[in-house]
Amino acid sequence: LIEKFLKEANKSTYANKSAPKVKSSLQESFDYEYIKGNLKYHDTYFGERDFIGVEVIYKDTEVVWGSNYYGYILDKKIDKDFVYDFLRESLMKESSDILPIRGPKKYIHDKLTYSFKVKGDISRFEGKEEIFLNSKCIYGCILNGGEVD
């Protein structure tokens, strides 16, 4: 249930470039929400080039799942929009080959490659997302999370 909802929420919020942000929940935060039935997904993050954030899923009013993450661009000369437009494109791809926390295990477009590796399952996991230009890593994101009880 959580996996299917999370997959829908991810493709309906940040990954979807046309998804509207909601009112900031904290000073200087960027926020997205997705609601379906009694489940609500909320993502709050800070920063534009390098960022840190947390996403949670509520069942009714109780938090049942969450993840925190820190993402960064390794080369200051690379335009952030170039990186994050490709990240969004990658996150919209089918991820049935891996936990639906981010994107697929691998996605390649022209000279860019998206990679996501994760250990664990939806109840407890840690992962790393990377983007390579040719074979040089230009972006990384570390994340972990799981069920909240």
Tell me the average pLDDT across 99-118: 95
CB 81 within 8 A of CB 104: no
Tell me the average pLDDT across 101-111: 95
Q: How confident is the model at residue 1 (pLDDT cuts 50, 70, 90)?
A: confident
3-state SS class at 110: coil
The model's pLDDT over 22-64, given as tens digits with 9 standing for 90+, comes to: 999 999 999 999 999 999 999 999 999 999 999 999 999 999 9
Q: Which residue has the tokens 């996501």?
A: 116
How far, rounded to the nearest angstrom, does the alpha carbon of residue 83 sit from its chain's CA centroid?
Answer: 14
Q: What is the DSSP-derived secondary structure letter of residue 28?
A: T
Of 109, 82, 78, 81, which is closest to residue 93 (Cα–Cα)?
109
Measuring CA to CA, how many Å separate 135 from each of 29, 102, 115? 33, 21, 12
Q: How confident is the model at residue 98 (pLDDT cuts 50, 70, 90)?
A: confident
The model scores a pTM over 0.75: yes
